[in-house]
Structure 1
């Protein structure tokens, strides 16, 4: 039998950022990965402190941004690369009313550090009413982040490339197959619905599509353009455009209506020819109150869940990984807003 402090089940942002907390604190672990691309791995990687539909912000936004930047520097110490891309969001205004609303909101204390008061006009794309820059916004190099961490896990014998088998788990004995473990962290996204220990947690799938396109006229490399969706270069002559939100069409194949929506959305502000080269989709695990779900099993104190990161998977996964670590290691209470217990009450 092999002894480990932690088994992590799931290979999205929740699992990888929690694994970083274990590396940082010299804990032994293995991470189970089925090898299928999770919703995290096909995500845009947008780091955005502002809800760009209404120009509002969200809970603990500055703390989450600061913590992410510090965490990516810590990861750099053993991966030897910082995956943060300095490419701020430029939101195309639909009309003069949106310009005025942006300026009005930028005077609010909670938004003044994020909504730039100086407007820009971008070349190539249509932006008759200019664009507003979101300060402190950026992107994560998603493919690099996952490739770098998976490579590190494999080299250091942390990675188990197989589906976790719940029937082999004996939580009362702290045994799973040939592992003796201290704790298991289930970070499975929508896969949690198959988990007999946490299948009743209230996460709902939100299906998101994005397309990779070839543009006949390139856009600037150092920005992320947003109108209805996000547009930015991904290398190899391709650009990411997405993503959609759909709570109804939840089958596991491409929705032509979602692709049509994206093509139409891009055509609204990109006036040149483009070609759709790839289509991707994933299922974000979302929660009604827009807070992650973190907690300990009601019967087995060695089983934990970390889920419901939603569309802010990078910020939520990074910030709350430490909260979960402090809870599991030192029994430091969770914020009531993210605790699994909020549903039992």
Structure 2
């Protein structure tokens, strides 16, 4: 079988990249083992335009957010599945000083498109601790990552574009004008293998910095049903039906996918400082995100093998990063545009 691209990994990165390549008329085959590590399936999935302790705009926010919502909405129509939830994010203020700062910022052209309202008094005081008010953000929400990946897996399988198998590096043959793998010939191969990049013989020299993240799942009383995502120290995402998910932790050691009592305690402590409603913890999940040392994605071509590429390192903001950069990466591999220096792995060629 002859295809243009062989993609290894069908997590968020591999799925979004495959869709972009198909959309520009190229053929793909995806090799993925659903039983292997896949942080996308247990991710919080948030897309948030203003983040961090200092509440600043997400890196390249305007470009990313103008692109991601239409992209995912288009895929929902194509796959006949709902997985994108646009929901305001409410962040209570810590102080009057922070309230005053955001009253000013809300009028600035850089921030105004993402601010629904600045509350100078409690806006959601029946649910959260917000004695100083808070900021309500728009163009935000979350992707149901597990549902998205499952729907796209089914789509690929129905089109006979998916090989459900563990990738065998020993079976890969590099040729002058492409690669060959178990009867599949491709012009290029792209590794979208998440934290498994650490074991990838072509790209394990890249400075991946995996981060373990854990989530809690809650049941709450029906009258406490929330309409927004609460976010201060932890995020509390409404899932409907009296259920929420809470996250996330950031652990650089013990990078396994086993939930821990330490993380549960940490999340409950932060949750108790944010919400007022009663809840019951019903589940806990963990995953390892493919974050990078400089917090920028890994995109590019191997320094020696011209047919071997990588699209990885999307980290905790993969939902917002993947669509825009998959589009740029697909166009770049086809020679139609440039690849930004900030994401190009050439920045790390000295490590090879």
- Shared fold (TM-score greater than 0.5)? yes
- List aligned pairs for 1:151-190, cutoff 5 A: 151-172=154-175, 174-190=179-195
- In the alignment, the residues of structure 2 paired with residue 312 and residue 303 of structure 1 have an alpha-carbon distance, to the nearest angstrom, of 25
Q: Is the 8 A contact 1:15 1:187 kept in 2?
A: yes
- Superimposed CA distance per residue, residues 246-276 of structure 1 (whole angstroms, 9 cap, x where no aligned partner): 2234244222211101111112232343221
Matched with 1:28 is: 27
- Cα shift at 1:237: 3.9
Which stretch shows the higher mean deviation, 33-42 or 73-82?
A: 73-82
Are the counterparts in 2 of residues 208 and 243 from structure 1 also a CA contact under 8 Å? yes
Task: Give the distance between the partners of 1:287 and 1:224, measured in 2 at CA.
Answer: 27
What CA distance in whole angstroms lies between the structure 2 residues aligned with 1:221 and 1:272? 10
Alignment match, 1:295 = 300
**Which position in structure 2 is the counterpart of 1:115?**
115
Aligned length: 344
Q: Which blocks of at least 5 consecutive residues in structure 1 are unaligned? A: none
Q: Which runs of 4+ in 1 moved over 4 A?
A: none
**8 Å contact 2:171–2:181 — kept in the other structure?**
yes
Q: CA deviation at 1:312?
A: 0.8
Aligned counterparts, 1:42-61, within 5 A: 42-61=42-61
Q: 1:4 aligns to what? A: 3
Q: Deviations over 1:285-342 (max 9, x none)?
A: 2223221110101121111001111111011111100111011112632111110001
Which of 154-163 and 110-119 deviates more?
110-119
Secondary structure at the counterpart of residue 337 of structure 2: coil
Q: 1:205 to 1:218 in 2, by over 3 A?
A: farther
1:228 aligns with 2:227: no
Q: Which runs of 5+ in 2 are unaligned?
A: none
CA contact (8 A) 1:207 1:246 kept: yes
CA distance in 1, matches of 2:336, 2:171: 27
TM value normalised by structure 1: 0.93
How far did residue 217 of structure 1 move? Answer: 5.2
| Aligned mate of 1:244, from 217, 240, 249 | 249
2: distance between equivalents of 1:141 and 1:222?
17
RMSD over equivalenced CA pairs, Å: 1.9
Match of 1:344 among 341, 346, 349: 349
Q: Which residue of 1 aligns with 2:315?
A: 310
- 1:263-342 residue pairs with structure 2 within 5 A? 263-330=268-335, 332-342=337-347
Query: TM-score scaled by structure 2?
Result: 0.91
Structure 1 residue 81 displacement after superposition: 3.8
Find the residue that maps to 1:44 and give its secondary structure. coil
Distance, in Å, in 2 between the alignment partners of 1:104 and 1:204 is: 37
